[in-house]
Amino acid sequence: MTTPPAPTSPSLADLRELTPARVGLGRSGASLPTDALLSFTLDHARARDAVHAAFDVSGIAAGLAGLGITPLEVSSQAHSRRDYLRRPDLGRMLDSASRRSLETCGITTCPCAIVIGDGLSPTAVNVHAVELIRHLVPRLAADKIDAGAVIAASGARVALGDEIGAIVGARMLVLLIGERPGLSAPDSLGAYLTFAPRIGLTDADRNCISNIHHAGLSYAEAAFRISWLVREGLARQITGVALKDESGGGSSRNALPGCDKSDT
């Protein structure tokens, strides 16, 4: 009878195959190896570039036009990237012109509004928002839920969606926003869902689906989870800590009540 070989312990090389995290980088004297240092510097530069990238509203509008959607365009009170980063409070409030525009747009009630905000990674929104909506809208339609308003918001923090949703009378708000860039994912998109949005809500009142990017949650999986939460949130009239993701899709770490990667 042949004795089976003894199991071998996983090596650092095996671990590196399982995660983009920086593990087992080695050393050169008291420092990192040159390759590891250069890789870190490059990823750090990509993260900084993602924060300071321009929000391509015209490109997003053109992409949505191909889906038969014409978005409204609004801005927060953070009119420059400098203001946005130094004054988070300004990104949570519409400027006066945008508020008037929404109040006179003719939309006073809608079952579901979708807001596309630049957030802390405009790069993520520029790359992923249109494709995610391409997958999401048919799923909502299959549940007989109409995206009655689609709005592109510049200088947006998560809480800006509460004011927008309240003005257009949204029963459910889906906010797509660029998440805080990391060294392994500078272009990660997040989706925040809020039932009966209004000024003064907190992250405990929202559900968040995070890590939507090419190496993370796919568009199809994210759309499935978002549509499930929208349908169940409307039926139960809740979101946030009271609504758990029981869709059965993917890992629960990507759909958390009240999670915050976008800095509200």
Q: Which residues are annotated as a binding site for adenosylcob(III)alamin?
A: 158, 179, 208
Token output for 114: 């979708």
Distances (CA, A) of 229 to 5, 52, 168, 248: 48, 31, 20, 11
Could you tell me if 81 and 52 are in contact, meaning their C-beta atoms sit under 8 angstroms apart? yes
Q: Per the annotation, where are the binding residues? A: 158, 179, 208
Taking alpha carbons only, the member of 175, 222, 220 closest to residue 194 is 175
Cα-Cα end-to-end distance for the chain: 64
Strands of 147-154's sheet, edge to edge? 72-75, 147-154, 110-119, 170-178, 189-195, 206-212, 255-257
